[in-house]
Chain A
Amino acid sequence: MKTMEITVTVNGKKRTETVETRMLLSDFIREQLRLTGTHLGCEHGVCGACTVLVNGKAARSCLMLAVQADGFAIDTVESLVREDGSLHPLQQAFSDNHALQCGFCTPGFMMTLVDFLQENPKPSEGEIREAISGNLCRCTGYANIVKAVEQASQALAKQGG
């Protein structure tokens, strides 16, 4: 099987790895880098559970090959928690608002939202709903996720300003 060496900056750390050229980015993250916070829900780009940041933009890691990420920065859910162990405002808000039940879709939602809140720091409810409409959650019925995003956007605004 054909392999290739790639260099990626994962959660801030540069890593050089040899991968099969056919390996999905999602499998690379989970199986080779052992970052299992990124989850696979459908592997055909619909559910959004595998969302990570590729060069700062939310992307479905099941729809990319690892070799396509060569030279890129990849951020996963594991990057969110602060060095002192404190939670990112999104993580805190998800927990405060019971925006997760089984937790399986949660990392994908949060990575989608990290990107979204950078683009749109003060979103309306409608904008939040649209932003997460590419992520499926089967437990919560989304209501508390919307509330969590509202809380997180306020917390981030305070931090920023």
Chain B
Amino acid sequence: MANLIGQSFRRKEDHRFVTGTGQYVADIRLDNMAEAAFIRSTYAHARIKSIDRSAALAMDDVYAVITGEDLVGKVGLMSEMESHCRLPKHIEDQIKPIMKHNVEPVLATGKVKYVGQNVVCIVAKNRYIAEDAAALVKIDYEPLPAVVDPFEALKEGAPLVQDDLDDNMQAYFHLPVGSWEEAVSKADHVIKGRFTSPRVGSNPIETRGVVASYDNRTDFLNIWSSTQMPFEIRHYVAKLLGLVEQNIRVVAPDVGGGFGPKGGLYPEEVLLAYLAKQLKRPVRWIEDRMEHMSGARHSRDQIHDLEVAYTKDGTILGVKDDFVLDVGAINYFALTCAYNSAAHFRGAYKIPVFDLTCRIALTNKTPNVPYRGAGRPEVVFAMDRIVDLIARELGMDPVEVMLKNIIPAEEMPYSQGMYYKDGGELIYDSGNYPEAFEMALEMSRFKEIRANQEQWRKEGTYIGIGFSSNVEGTGVGPFEGAKVSIDPSGQVILHVGSSSQGQSHETVFGQVAGDVFGVSLDRVTVKNGDTVALGYGAGTYASRSAVNAGSAAHLASVKLREKMLAVAGNVLEIAPEELTMQDGVIFAVSQPEKKITFPELAAAATPGMRCKVPEGMDPGLEATHYFVPPTVTYSSSVHAAVVEVDIETGFVKIRNYYIVHDSGRVINPMVVEGQVQGGFAQGIGTALYEEVVHNENGQLLTGTYMDYLLPTSMEVPVAVQGEQEYYSTRNPLGVKGVGESGAISTPAAIANAVVDALAPFHVKIDRLPVSPNRVFDLLQDAQSEEVIMPK
């Protein structure tokens, strides 16, 4: 019975956060703890000729100055995250991928490959002294030609980023769905366009950080990291240092935001573990923001060369895309973002033919990893921009073309004729996209805006409305686990394998478990982010926790509930089927006086001579479940942006914004709305402000918050939300993921709205961000037109 699911409970985690008593990694202080600082590469590509550390080592209170050469043979090389790189055989057969093994040492050896790469680590009494020592280390570099442009990188004879590879094309695949030639032959028009989503950073307000300590007696390593994937860190630290996994505990304490790039393995996690053991003292490293801008991984950075075949009534027959992903100096996540781009390209549109070729280019830049949306915002931008272009070519309203091509509700579940990267067939399980679109039209008062636009323009006010839709595979596996038990006090204790960076796990999973046990939220304690609590875990990323950890929590709780009823039946001498539980008491439905409380039951199940657990069952009140989803479940949303463009300054003001989203069954509406609004805010950054810029030598030009603009309260309005609740058919709760959906369509909707506002000037937006200077430039050369190739 669902009492808790569906309610907007105030969060259990809030009290410690609002009182300043949370514990983030920088708040951990251990006895005798030293601090580390890194010297990072100031070159994009250079040979390390020599490193002179003598003056630094001579300083008081400096405990170690470590270079990459010191670690050769002692610390393994970082490379692809295996769990994210495997492809099922049938996908390999379809897309014939090339994926080359690539590596990065935890400290550079021989050469540096990007600005921000870790070169030297200094451990000292505190960070101030460590940085003093860093200033005394002399590194002699011999600059090498830097590969900055991904197209240049892919040319024959380009300087190699990874010396062991033959060229800079780290990965490649080709996905054919239907015949492109046939689509072209049936089409009246083929439109072409190049769409660029530049490099951005996730910029959680808490930077990264690691604390490591080693216990000699038990040969045990403790690692605290502001990571999204504690279990993966444990695995790789063990692997790279040659240790036993179960002699390592990784804790993700309170983590101040992640959004993707806090996933994966970082050099500092491995190195601090190594140093804590070597130096026999705890070591802490807290990333500063300057380090974060270059050393924490970036994302997006895709360039799509798109062709779309369509008929004169606006029906899209096929899409052909040739795209390049600039992955930086090493690809840790194989085809994760690139294949996401392929799987989400057509979104809510019914497009029978799809032909995509992807090349992943190595360049001398910070590695590129998944960030909120992970390959989706890029293609939604490309797709919805070109749909808008088609409409304007045909003299139709973009909304008309979007609706003409949207997947009709009666065709659900709908197959896209390809596989999702987890191996499942790409079949949308539930949803109603035309209905969502109609809701967005209604909410945004589309007709009213269209009716008034001309008049506003006459008055000098340029207002436009733009739309974008997306369908998102959420809740990707491989699995997530939950272990639930009844404490002697009667409290329900739930451990989940996926940890929080702000997603409200303690509340939301408490609601899930509380409903199964019939207890209020305060009687459930949710713990997460600790590798000793569960045997296996994956992590929080890819809009997956509610689906995977939520389902695991539910099913583990169901298992335990059944056992509790069996034990209670044994104690009360009554058939378990006649029992139920409410508010921490198990009782017979027909005879409520026959009852036993949770603490009494916990005592009765304790191992020993008095144990009342029925024969054949293990003692104790504890159950574990690992949920393995059959494939992803598809959430969706339609965004409508109403913007006003100042044609003098190029500034884009968002007047109103609407998001209709289907997140399946909603566990906590307040949390879901918060996720959507938060994703939307990051989408605004991507749409209008954010861009990581390197110069032609690979130098980072956006290394501070003075150069890299994040949206503030002045730029982010309230996104008015409309909700659909089409339950997922692929998990017992009916939930879908929501973490990323707010970010995916925002850039496309805003870009379309800007184009619409500036319709009299016929501007063409094919690149993000739509910053004031870019709008100004577009207005300057407003005469250019997109290429239309008659067939």
Contacts and interface: CB of A to CB of B under 8 A. Distances in A.
Interface of A: 20, 22-23, 30-31, 34-44, 46-47, 49, 76-78, 80-81, 87, 91, 94-96, 98, 100-107, 110, 128-130, 132-146
A98 B205 contact: no
Contacts of A137: 205
Contact of A95 (B15, B202, B501): B15
Nearest to A46: B705
Choose among A87, A94, A137, A144 the residue with the greatest number of B CB atoms under 10 Å from its CB. Answer: A137
Contacts of B710: 136, 138
Nearest to B504: A101
Interface in B1-59: 8, 10-11, 13-24, 26-27, 29
Given A110-B18, A140-B674, 4 more contacts: A39-B26, A42-B704, A78-B19, A130-B713
B256 to A, nearest CB: 3
Contact of B14 (A37, A95, A133): A95
Contact of B288 (A31, A43, A91, A139): A43
Given A104-B257, A133-B714, A139 B678 contact: yes
Contacts of A110: 18
Chain B interface bracket (under 10, 10 to 19, 20 to 34, 35 or more): 35 or more
B206 interface: yes
13 contacts: A23-B128, A42-B289, A44-B704, A46-B704, A47-B705, A77-B20, A87-B15, A94-B18, A100-B14, A128-B713, A138-B681, A139-B678, A143-B677
A142 B204 CA distance: 15
Given A133-B714, A136-B205, A77 B681 contact: no
B668 to A, nearest CB: 9
Contacts, number: 179
A101 B678 contact: yes
B511 to A, nearest CB: 14
Choose among B205, B671, B679, B705 the residue with the greatest number of A CB atoms under 10 Å from its CB. Answer: B205
Contact of B128 (A22, A49, A104, A107): A22
A145 B473 CA distance: 30
B205 A105 contact: yes
A75 B10 CA distance: 27
B510 to A, nearest CB: 15
Contacts of A23: 128
Interface string B529-548: 00000000000000000000
A79 to B, nearest CB: 9
Nearest to A37: B20
Interface string B671-710: 1011001111110000000000000000000001110001
B24 A39 contact: yes
Contact of A142 (B20, B679, B716): B716
Given A78-B20, A81-B19, A133-B714, A138 B204 contact: yes
Contact of B670 (A98, A139, A145): A98
B326 to A, nearest CB: 24
